[in-house]
Structure 1
Amino acid sequence: MNQQQDQLEALHEIRNIMDRSSRFISLSGLSGIAAGVSALLGAAVVKWYLVSQGIKYGASLGLTLTQDNLMFLAAVAGLVFILALCSATYFTARNAKKNSHRVWDSKTERMLVNLFIPVAAGGVFCAILVYHDLLYLVAPAMLLFYGCGLLNASKYTLSDIRYLGLLEIVLGLLASFFVGYGLLAWTLGFGVLHIVYGTLMYFKYER
Structure 2
Amino acid sequence: MMKVVIVAILALATTLVSAYDPSPLQDFCVAINNTDSAVFVNGKFCKDPTLVTANDFFFSGLNIPGNIAANKVESNVTLVNVDKLPGLNTLGVSLARLDFAPYGLNPPHTHPHSTELLVVIEGTILVGFVTSNPNKLFTKVLNLGDVFVFPIGLIHFQFNIGQTNAVAFAGLSSQNPRVITIANAVFGSNPPINLDVLAKAFLLDKNVVEYLQKQF
Q: Which has the higher strand share?
A: 2
Structure of greater Rg: 2
Higher RCO (CA < 8 A, seq sep 6+) = 1
Q: TM-score, normalised on structure 2?
A: 0.26
Taking structure 1 as the reference length, the TM-score comes to 0.27
Higher helix share: 1
